[in-house]
Amino acid sequence: MKKFLFSRKYFVKETIIIYKEKIIIMVLASKIFYLKEHIGINTIAAKLKDYRLTEVQQIDDKEYEIGKSVTSLEATDNGLKGVFEESFIVDFKYRDEEFKIPLSITTYFEFYRKNGNLFLILLAKKERANRIATLFSTVLTAEKNQILEIEIPSETLQKLVETRREQTKVIFFDNVKLPGVEKLSLYGSNILDTNLYQEYIKIGKIWYIVLEMEENIVVGLTRNGIVTFFSKILEEEALDFIKEKIIPLSRLI
């Protein structure tokens, strides 16, 4: 699955979802990582508190601060949360006119400690989340490879969908044993009651699922910790949901 997912019931492109031919909301994407080495929360706070890499650029007669910074750091019961902000200049063209417009993108994040492991949750799509995780790894440890993706075992995803059979709407399988076939997929209602599901689960591993995990909370979930909310949810609620429902599924817990 690349930038879009298409079936008769679901169409997802970038941050918009259409379900049953009705536009619902902009989806909220996120990804979960973990830190390889032990770092204290106070150390993380001290290193991120003053992180700012900016410069001033001018558009017409007005100056704008462009770059990256960490803001709104706040201690939590089991960690630290804050906002990562990137500001840059975007070029637009309207007919024969060109415009430069300053733009800021904010990403909510939280470091969360559970059972001796330290997790990093980033409320961003995959590419941006990966980039911020690498940056944080460099800032905190001077190495790029100290913040890694979590893993949710295929067997765990299988148990999850098989306990919520009617709520499961999409399943992708990878590591397929058929020659020339990389992925298989199932869409629709009651897909776990089909012969195809029984066949696919024998020859592949579950990579991605879409299901209603709780009432009115539809979630897409991959083995490497990408969580997509297809239901209306606030950032704080999404962080809490990930901590309570998704992180316990990881191989580290």
pTM of the model: 0.86
pLDDT of residue 99: 85
Domain carrying residue 189: 151-249
**Confidence bin at 26 (pLDDT 50/70/90):** low
The answer on 223 and 135 residing in a single domain is: no
One-character DSSP codes across the chain: --SEEE-SSEEEETTEEEETTEEEEE-EEEEEEEESS---HHHHHHHHHT-EEEEEEEETTEEEEEEEEEEEEEEETTEEEEEEEEEEEEEEEETTEEEEEEEEEEEEEEEEEETTEEEEEE-S-HHHHHHHHHHHHHHHHS-TTSEEE----HHHHHHHHHHSTTTEEEEEEES--STT---EEEESTTGGGSHHHHHHHHHSEEEEEEEEEETTEEEEEETTSEEEE-S---HHHHHHHIIIIIGGGSTT-
The answer on 100 and 173 residing in a single domain is: no
pLDDT of residue 47: 96
The answer on 158 and 204 residing in a single domain is: yes
The answer on 142 and 37 residing in a single domain is: yes
The answer on 191 and 140 residing in a single domain is: no
The answer on 108 and 210 residing in a single domain is: no
Q: What's the rounded mean pLDDT across residues 139-157? A: 96
The answer on 186 and 110 residing in a single domain is: no
Angle between helices 126-141 and 41-49 (to 10 degrees): 100
Among 146, 168, 201, give the residue marking a domain's end: 146
The answer on 61 and 132 residing in a single domain is: yes
**Confidence bin at 11 (pLDDT 50/70/90):** very low
The pLDDT tens digits for 155-214 are 999 999 999 999 999 999 999 999 999 999 999 989 999 999 999 999 999 999 999 998
pLDDT of 253 higher than 80: no
Q: Confirm whether 26 is domain-assigned.
A: no
pLDDT of residue 240: 96
Calpha distance 230→19 (Å, rounded): 9
The pLDDT tens digits for 28-86 are 999 999 999 999 999 999 999 989 999 998 888 888 899 999 999 999 999 999 999 99
pLDDT of 25 higher than 80: no
pLDDT of residue 172: 97
Q: What's the rounded mean pLDDT across residues 16-36? A: 70
The answer on 139 and 103 residing in a single domain is: yes
Give the count of domains, the chain. 2
pLDDT of residue 252: 85
The answer on 221 and 129 residing in a single domain is: no
Among 96, 117, 146, give the residue marking a domain's end: 146
Higher pLDDT, 233 or 13: 233
Q: Confirm whether 55 is domain-assigned.
A: yes
The answer on 243 and 138 residing in a single domain is: no
Among 95, 123, 146, give the residue marking a domain's end: 146
pLDDT of 133 higher than 50: yes
The pLDDT tens digits for 199-234 are 999 999 999 999 999 888 999 999 999 999 999 999
